[in-house]
Amino acid sequence: MTMVDDQRIAALLRAAPVPEPRVDLDRAIRDGKRRRRRRRIGGVVTVIVLAGFGAVGAVQVGGVADEPAPVPPAIAASATASVSVSTEPARSLTCAVALLPQPTPGSVAVATGVDPTGRHIVGDIGTGNEDGRVVLWTDGRATVLPAAARHGAAVNAGGYVVGTNGDGTGWVYRGGTLRFLTTPPGYDAVLVYAVNGRGDIAGTARKADDTARAVLWSVDRPQQYRFLGRVESAATGITEDGTVVGTMGDLPYRWTTQGTGAELAVPDGYPRASVDSAHGNWAIGMVPGAARGGSVQMLPVRWNLTTGAASLVPYPSASGIAGNGDLLVDDGGPVVAAADGTSRRLPGRPEVRSTEAGTYTANGISDDGRTVVGAVYENESYRPLVWRCT
């Protein structure tokens, strides 16, 4: 597994099983200022690499001069898919869970993301030994992407999927066609994180010395790119209106659709923060908490992008945020926590007897908070799931 493989899994398969990394993770932790934690799920030990003091998949760099690079004309927007956001309180919704079809064999099948409308779901199916195939579910029907596409990162309301292969090559799948994103000259790899309904793709370019810089591409013109920030920046999320979030050095950052950047607030008492993703007027990330047993406890943070306010989340972890502010959190099992303080615990499958109940993980949430995707560990295998709430 390459360094890029490890970082891609960190960003996209937060709670999914992955093989024990075969790279020098000590160096990855040191250079990226990360920590590792082990977690046992359903009898299987998984390794989860969480962002420490920089953005997920980005690195802490310093002392590297910025070199000019060719910048093509500004990327034009594609057609925007409309997304409606519900404001109905979480407590008034009832949720049901169902398995997603598996079009290809594999004991590790996980749904990792969902588009803002809840119609398109992306995931990965394989054995957990770097043989996974990216799968797109649309209205319940499954499509296996070409073998040249690995590690799907996100899907937009048009059903376009983006991701990063293990060698650091970014790609976009659109209407049955796979195209590769340009790696900016002078950089060795890219990490692709998000795509919005306009077709803007957000990610980060990296050099061999771990120099990083935030980049935008377009679904329509994947061979063009545009740098957002200076060196030491990273882009890890993008909203439907084109607002990009990420980091600049150790600090959380945002860029407007015009490319103007500004720091996001860091919660009082904390020196730094990272941003994981953003939807609607909300973003989530992490701050370093107390050191315990030689490791740093990472604490989830939610930003209101309208007011700029940052607040700690009263849960041990957060894996997604909806456009209406609903948080997807882990509290001994998947929970959706609304911005108004109400919450709902996602149910297990009713057809499974309680003595055979599996361990559930949730990885993605739609903008209205009513569709959640993830996986269940049962009978020594992981199976992809979707929760629908009405």
Q: What is the pLDDT of residues 96-115, one digit of tens each?
A: 999 999 999 999 999 999 99
* pLDDT band, very low/low/confident/very high, at 22 (cuts 50, 70, 90): very low
In a domain, 246, yes or no: yes
- Give the model's pLDDT for residue 91: 56
> Helix, strand, coil proportions of the chain in percent (round to 5)?
5, 45, 50
In a domain, 69, yes or no: no
Instruction: In whole angstroms, give the CA distance from residue 278 to residue 114.
Output: 13
Listed residue (116, 221, 238) closest to 172, CA to CA: 221
Residue at 56: amino acid letter: V
Mean pLDDT lowest for which of 147-161, 180-194, 204-218, 351-365?
A: 351-365
In a domain, 259, yes or no: yes
Q: Is the pLDDT of residue 10 over 50?
A: no
In a domain, 72, yes or no: no
* pLDDT: which is higher, 272 or 290: 272
* pLDDT band, very low/low/confident/very high, at 390 (cuts 50, 70, 90): very high
- Give the model's pLDDT for residue 358: 80
Q: Is the pLDDT of residue 273 over 70?
A: yes
Give the bridge partners for 318, in sequence order.
329
CA 80 to chain centre: 21
Provide the mean pLDDT of the chain. Answer: 80
The answer to whether the beta carbons of residues 101 and 383 sit under 8 Å apart is: no
Q: Give the number of domains in the chain.
A: 1
- Give the model's pLDDT for residue 18: 32
Q: Is the pLDDT of residue 237 over 50?
A: yes
**This prediction's pTM:** 0.79
Domain that holds residue 348: 3-64+77-389
**If you ran DSSP here, which 8-state letter would residue 5 be given?**
H
The answer to whether the beta carbons of residues 316 and 299 sit under 8 Å apart is: no
Give the bridge partners for 359, in sequence order.
377
CA 265 to chain centre: 21
Residue at 291: amino acid letter: A
Domain containing residue 332: CATH number:
2.130.10.10
* pLDDT band, very low/low/confident/very high, at 192 (cuts 50, 70, 90): very high
Report the pLDDT averaged over residues 341-359. 79
Mean pLDDT lowest for which of 171-175, 210-214, 354-358?
A: 354-358
In a domain, 166, yes or no: yes
Mean pLDDT lowest for which of 72-76, 229-233, 260-264?
A: 72-76
34-60 as b/e: b if 16+ CB within 10 A: bbbeeeebbebebbbbbbbbbbbbbbb
Q: Can you list the alpha helix ranges (DSSP code H) found in the chain? A: 3-12, 25-32
- Give the model's pLDDT for residue 288: 94
In a domain, 328, yes or no: yes
In a domain, 354, yes or no: yes
- Give the model's pLDDT for residue 130: 82
